[in-house]
Structure 1
Amino acid sequence: MTTGETFRELALSLHGTEEVAHFDRRAFKVRRIFASLGPDGDTANLYLTPFEQEQWCELFPEAFAPVFNKWGSRGWTQVRLAQIKSVDLHAALRRAWSNCGGAE
């Protein structure tokens, strides 16, 4: 339901966000990286707290899952963009942005 381009637009709509290269991904940062878009544009990673990660994964198990490495235990969460509405994705992005220093 959401595309990589919509993800990018939502991330950049958050105050103070910059888009930067991060390995083979596009990353979005305010003070630190709070999100990245996969090279295929089908998935993205968000920096949530472990508690927030658990909540989002319970609410939308078809869309959210911990990243499959040590970063997943620290809250980094993969989002399958086709499985989430943009309004819900925007809410999750705002949490990640706030976790990394974003403020209005």
Structure 2
Amino acid sequence: MVSIETFRKLALSFPNAKEEPHFEKTSFRINKKIFATFDEKNNRAVLKLNEIDQSVFCASSEKIFYPIPNKWGAQGWTIAELAKVRPEMFEDALIRSYENVMAKKK
């Protein structure tokens, strides 16, 4: 299980990461681009993964990681169930999300 405090601490540990509101969610951004959001109501994170990372994390457990069921999911946006995910697995996915968004800004 990953708490919002742990999520926030990890997300803000990345260089230049910022926390900002995003509609009814909390977003974590790098260079104004979202790499993760937190949905407090549903205790979920949404991460921006590339196609390979998304398939790897989703294959590990379809009940913990799964694509958003729309066009955003096809673009790599992946839900992580925070009540079910192991902290080390979530940290790895969050790192991948941050790196994916950083790579697009170069």
- Regarding TM over 0.5, the answer is yes
Q: Report the Cα offset of residue 5 of structure 1.
A: 2.1
Q: CA RMSD in A?
A: 1.4
Matches within 5 A, 1:27-42: 27-31=27-31, 32-40=33-41, 42=43
- Give the C-alpha shift of residue 14 in structure 1: 1.4
Query: Looking at both structures, which has the greater relative contact order when contacts are Cα pairs under 8 Å and sequence separation is at least 6?
Result: 1
Spell out structure 1 runs of 4+ moving beyond 4 A.
none
Which residue does 1:24 correspond to in 2?
Answer: 24
Alignment of 1:9-20 (within 5 A): 9-20=9-20
Contact map agreement 1:44 1:78 (CA 8 A) in 2: yes
Quote the residue 1:58 is aligned against: 59
Correspondence for 1:67:
68
Is residue 81 from structure 1 mapped to residue 97 from structure 2 by the alignment?
no
> In percent, how many aligned pairs have the same letter?
35
Deviation for aligned residue 1:41: 5.9
Distance 1:87 1:41 in 2: 21
Once residues 35 and 80 of structure 1 are traced to their aligned partners in structure 2, the CA distance between those partners, rounded to angstroms, is 13
Unmatched 5+ stretches in structure 2: none
Question: Hey, what's the Cα distance between the residues in 1 that align with 2:98 and 2:67?
Answer: 17
Deviations 1:3-50 (A, max 9, x none): 222111111111211001111110001121100000326101000012
TM norm structure 2: 0.89
Number of aligned positions between the proteins = 102
Flag structure 1 segments of 5+ consecutive residues without an equivalent: none
Q: How far apart are 1:69 and its partner, in Å?
A: 1.7
User: What TM-score comes out, normalization by structure 1 length?
Assistant: 0.91
